[in-house]
């Protein structure tokens, strides 16, 4: 259930995972990017945790968006930030998690103009939300979707600069998004 309480819990869990996996996420970003994804996300989530997360679900999403847009730097800041902003708007209309998360996907696509299969965070978000819509999303699936980005060739973002050589590496934004979905599951959203 998406409530202020479960959402705050999910964000706290997401922050914990990002801080623990900070070096791993930056390592994933090294062969196909500039090696900063873990640091970017850790900086952003530290700012989220330092902000006042009181209020209702739309308020919490909005404050999360502002902190991420303001502090992440890099492509992932505005992408995650827009996702959170759009989820905030949608959550004023519905508390169905799949519908709210779909609005997050739309935000990422509006901002980054990527489609499924371009080796970005969308290759976690799109199948994860589809599974949730179909009735269930497990942590094993969430991890598998991130693993599956290994086979893809990047055609968007910094990883597209290395072209074919991006194959064989997990996309860092897909992996950080996997931690986000795991956090939602663990918090009972």
| Binding footprint of ligand ADP on the chain (CB under 6 A) | 29, 33-34, 36-37, 40, 74-76, 79, 108, 112-114, 120-122, 156-158, 171-174
Indicate whether 102 belongs to the interface with Mg ion (CB under 5 A). no
Contacts 24+ apart (CB under 8 A), 178-182: 178/124, 178/128, 178/142, 178/143, 178/145, 178/146, 179/14, 179/17, 179/18, 179/21, 180/10, 180/14, 181/124, 181/128, 181/137, 181/142, 182/13, 182/17, 182/139, 182/142, 182/143
Indicate whether 88 belongs to the interface with Mg ion (CB under 5 A). no
CB of 162 to ligand ADP, least distance (A): 12
Return the residue nearest ligand ADP (CB atom).
Answer: 173
Of 22, 28, 29, 88, which lies in the binding site for Mg ion, with binding defined by CB under 5 A?
29
| Helices of type H across 1-155 | 4-20, 22-32, 37-50, 57-71, 76-90, 97-112, 122-134, 139-148
Picked from ligand ADP, Mg ion, none, the partner binding residue 44 (CB below 5 to 8 A depending on kind) is none
Nearer to Mg ion, 36 or 102 (CB): 36
Nearer to ligand ADP, 2 or 107 (CB): 107
Of 38, 44, 74, 127, which lies in the binding site for Mg ion, with binding defined by CB under 5 A?
74
Number of Cβ atoms within 10 Å of the Cβ of 73 = 14
Picked from Mg ion, ligand ADP, none, the partner binding residue 114 (CB below 5 to 8 A depending on kind) is ligand ADP
- What residues make contact with Mg ion under the rule CB under 5 A? 29, 33-34, 36-37, 74
């Amino acid at each position: 259930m998406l409530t202020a309480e479960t959402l705050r819990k999910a964000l706290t869990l997401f922050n914990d995972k990002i801080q623990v996996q900070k070096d791993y996420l930056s390592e994933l970003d090294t062969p196909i990017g500039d090696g900063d994804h873990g640091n970017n996300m850790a900086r952003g989530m530290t700012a989220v945790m330092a902000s006042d997360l009181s209020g209702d679900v739309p308020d919490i999403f909005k404050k999360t968006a502002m902190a991420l847009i303001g502090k992440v730097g890099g492509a992932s800041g505005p992408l995650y930030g827009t996702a959170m902003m759009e989820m905030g708007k949608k959550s004023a209309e519905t508390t169905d998690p799949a519908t709210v998360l779909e609005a997050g996907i739309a935000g990422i696509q509006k901002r980054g103009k990527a489609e499924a299969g371009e080796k970005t965070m969308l290759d976690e978000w799109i199948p994860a939300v589809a599974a949730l819509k179909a009735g269930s999303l497990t942590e094993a699936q969430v991890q598998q979707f991130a693993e599956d980005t290994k086979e893809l060739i990047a055609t968007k973002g910094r990883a597209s600069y290395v072209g074919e050589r991006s194959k064989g590496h997990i996309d860092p934004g897909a992996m950080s998004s996997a931690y986000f979905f795991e956090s939602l599951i663990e918090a009972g959203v």
